[in-house]
Amino acid sequence: PRKVWLDCDPGHDDAIALLLALYLDQIQLVGISSVNGNAPLVYTHANAAQLLALYRAPKDLPLHRGLAKPLKKEYIHPPVSIHGHSGLDGVLHMPPLAHPSVRHWYDQFEPSTDSSDLDKNEPQTKEGDGTAVPALIAYLENSVPEGEKITVVITGPCTNIAAVRHLRPQLFDTKVDKVVIMGGAFDIPQWTPYAEFNIAVDPDALDELLKSRNVGVVLVPLNVTHKAIFDRKTHARLLDPSVTDLKEGDELPKPVSQLRESLSTMLTFFRDAYANQFGFTTGPPLHDALTIIHLTHPHLLKGRRGKLTVEISKTEKDGETSFSPSSEEKFSNLDLDSGEKAVESLVLEDLDVEAFFEVF
C-alpha cells in the first residue's frame, strides 16, 4: 500500500475521506494532522480524535495538532450553518471527548492537565501551535528511507504542510512524491467571489507548495467534487441491511450497524446544510473523499496537466486559482518525472460517479 499522511479539518466530508483512508487496502496511513478550517483548530482536532475512536482506528496511528493560524492571514471562520458549531455536528454515536478511546488520540502528544472542559464535551482552548509540523519533519527525516517517498493528502487549508516545506524544502522535495489537495474552483460559483474555501483561508500556503520543482500538486477542485453528490438513492443503500458481505441469516455486527447510523446522520446534517446554504437539491458533495479515491482508484478520476497558480496579492481576489493546461489530453496520474522543466500540476475534472459510490 501507498504510505499517506492525511492533513484535515473535519468536517463532514473530511470524515468520509478519513474513513476511506483507514479502510481501503491501497493506503497505509502513517500520520494524521489537524488544521483550522471548517472550525477553529481546537474543534477540528477534537473531531479528528473522536472520529478515530468512532472508526476504531489502530491505536498506534499518530494524530498531531497542527498550526492554529494561516501562514500570513487571520483565520476566517465559516458560518456554523455548514458544518455546525463544532465543525462536525449531528453525528449519532460519536464517543464523547472525555471517553478514554478519544483521550488516547486527543492527548497523544500534548497531554492536557485539565479534563473539566472535556467532561462538558467542549474542547479546551489550547493556545499556540501543536506538534504536527515538527512531527512530519521528523517522520520524513527518520522514517522514510533514502530513495523512498510518501504522499501527502490535504483536505483543509494547506497551512501545516506549507510550513513543513518552507522550513525544510529539500527534505520535503526528496521524501514526498506528491501532494493531493481538495481545493480551488474554476469558473463556477465559489466561497468568495473568487476563491474556494480551503484556498481562501490560506492562499499563501498553496503558493508555497506550488514552488516545488519536484513535488507535484494534484488539485481536486469544486468542479469535480460537485459531481460526487451523496443522493437519496445512495443514502438508502447505505442503510440497506441486505447490502453486506454477510451470509443470509447472519446479523450485522453492532459496531457496523452503529457506524451506518453515524454516517447516515452525519450525511443528513451535511445534506440539509448544503440545501439551506447553497441550494443543493439532490444531496451534499463529498468533496474531500475524492482525494483518497484518486490514490486508491486512480482510473475513476481524470484531468489535465499544466501550470497551476494562486492569487496572493492581498486583494479581494486572494485565493483565486488559475490553470493553463499544457494540452487537452486527460490523465489519471501525475507524471513525476520532472526532468529539466518545473513539475506540472494535475487538475482533476471528470469522475465516474457510480463507481465512486460503489467503492464508498
The verdict on 288 binding ligand BDR (CB under 6 A) reads yes
Residue closer to ligand BDR (CB basis): 149 or 159: 159
Site string for Ca ion, 232-251 (x = CB under 5 A): --------------------
Residue closer to Ca ion (CB basis): 158 or 343: 158
Q: C-alpha cell of 215?
A: 513535488
Residue closer to ligand BDR (CB basis): 15 or 334: 15
Residue 100: in which H helix or E strand, if any?
helix 100-106
| Distance from C-alpha of 158 to C-alpha of 183, rounded to nearest angstrom | 9
Of the candidate residues 73, 260, 271, 287, the single one contacting ligand BDR (CB under 6 A): 287
The verdict on 202 binding Ca ion (CB under 5 A) reads no
CB neighbourhood size of 127 (10 A) = 7
Of the candidate residues 4, 7, 11, 54, the single one contacting ligand BDR (CB under 6 A): 11
C-beta of residue 129 within 8 angstroms of C-beta of residue 41: no
Question: Which range touches ligand BDR (CB under 6 A), out of 10-18, 116-124, 319-327, 352-360?
Answer: 10-18
The interface partner of residue 196, options being ligand BDR, Ca ion, none and the CB cut-off 5 to 8 Å by kind, is ligand BDR
The verdict on 165 binding ligand BDR (CB under 6 A) reads no
| Distance from C-alpha of 334 to C-alpha of 45, rounded to nearest angstrom | 31
Smallest distance, Å, CB 193 to ligand BDR?
15
C-beta of residue 321 within 8 angstroms of C-beta of residue 191: no
Size of the site for Ca ion (CB under 5 A): 6
- Return the SS3 of 178: strand
User: Own/partner pairs for 269-273, CB < 8 Å, 24+ apart?
Assistant: 269/12, 269/84, 269/89, 269/90, 269/91, 270/12, 270/13, 270/83, 270/90, 270/230, 271/230, 271/235, 273/12, 273/81, 273/82, 273/83, 273/84
Residues 6+ apart with CB under 8 A from 248: none
Give the DSSP letter of residue 300.
G
CB neighbourhood size of 186 (10 A) = 16
Which amino acid type is present at position 58? P
Residue 176: in which H helix or E strand, if any?
strand 176-182
The interface partner of residue 197, options being Ca ion, ligand BDR, none and the CB cut-off 5 to 8 Å by kind, is ligand BDR
Smallest distance, Å, CB 292 to ligand BDR?
12
Of the candidate residues 70, 153, 163, 196, the single one contacting ligand BDR (CB under 6 A): 196
The verdict on 87 binding ligand BDR (CB under 6 A) reads no
The verdict on 151 binding ligand BDR (CB under 6 A) reads no
Q: Which of 23, 25, 31 is nearest to 5 (CA)?
A: 31
The interface partner of residue 160, options being Ca ion, ligand BDR, none and the CB cut-off 5 to 8 Å by kind, is none
The verdict on 304 binding ligand BDR (CB under 6 A) reads no
Subset of residues 12 to 41 that bind Ca ion, contact rule: CB under 5 A: 14
Smallest distance, Å, CB 253 to ligand BDR?
30
The verdict on 208 binding ligand BDR (CB under 6 A) reads no
Of the candidate residues 33, 44, 86, 155, the single one contacting ligand BDR (CB under 6 A): 155
Specify whether 85 is catalytic.
no
Of the candidate residues 33, 44, 86, 155, the single one contacting Ca ion (CB under 5 A): 155
The verdict on 11 binding Ca ion (CB under 5 A) reads yes
Q: Which of 45, 287, 294, 297 is catalytic?
A: 287
Burial 61-91 (b: 16+ CB within 10 A, else e): bbbbbbbbbbbebeeeebeeebbbebbbbbb
Phi, psi of 4 (to 5 degrees): -130, 135
Binding residues for Ca ion, per CB under 5 A? 9, 11, 14, 155-156, 288
| Active site residue ranges | 287
Site residues, ligand BDR (CB under 6 A): 11, 13-14, 38, 82, 155-156, 182, 196-198, 287-288
